[in-house]
Copies of this chain bind each other. A is one copy, B any other.
């Protein structure tokens, strides 16, 4: 019984890790589509989002099955519930990549981004993909130290986001209100993507240590 159970838990972790790969790829492609005004790539991200939603539904279903059949307690119960939370956050990361792709599609064939902010989005995209990759590792290894370190990458995202805002709000801004609005929302999508990655990592710290990390997001 115990062995079958552990197998199911491992399978759940595997499913979450697979989701992190999917949403990492989605954000990578969405960023490329955004930077290059690439319509077909944007549409691929939009089509693929359904697969993330399906993966989440499957994951939740398996977690339900585990709860119903095995009735875990204590640490094991914590693990299964955290899986449900993590799947929700990962689906949301997929949605945010979807929003980026939709913004790229909405303005096509016009580029959404003026030249002088492209570099911010290129970097935010890199940090986002890095977060998803690290999350993948952490989901496989349950490495608490790595999970805690993820917040450092998120600080990098926050810095980029803050700089981006200072450019948009600065006196030099010459691209008008409409571009500023697009960029404000896009910046927020990347920032939220990173927040959700941190939230998954924090849940893993909780699963392993039994305590939620106290440092709340600013």
Q: Which of B71, B81, B178, B188 contacts A169 (CB 8 A)?
A: B178
* A1 CB-CB contact with B under 8 Å: no
Q: Which residues of B contact A185 (CB under 8 A)?
A: 184, 188
Judge whether B169 and A177 touch: CB under 8 Å: yes
* A39 CB-CB contact with B under 8 Å: no
A68-100 residues at the B interface, CB under 8 angstroms: 68, 71, 73-74, 77-78, 81, 84-85, 88
* A9 CB-CB contact with B under 8 Å: no
The binding surface of chain A is classed by DSSP as helix
Q: Which residues of B contact A173 (CB under 8 A)?
A: 177
Within the complex, the shortest CB–CB distance from A73 to chain B, in Å, comes to 4
Within the complex, the shortest CB–CB distance from A192 to chain B, in Å, comes to 9
The chain B residue with its CB closest to the CB of A175 is: B177
Q: Which residues of B contact A188 (CB under 8 A)?
A: 185, 188
Q: Which residues of B contact A77 (CB under 8 A)?
A: 64, 67-68
Q: Which residues of B contact A178 (CB under 8 A)?
A: 169
* A128 CB-CB contact with B under 8 Å: no
Within the complex, the shortest CB–CB distance from A216 to chain B, in Å, comes to 8
Q: Which of B74, B81, B181 contacts A168 (CB 8 A)?
A: B181
* A180 CB-CB contact with B under 8 Å: yes
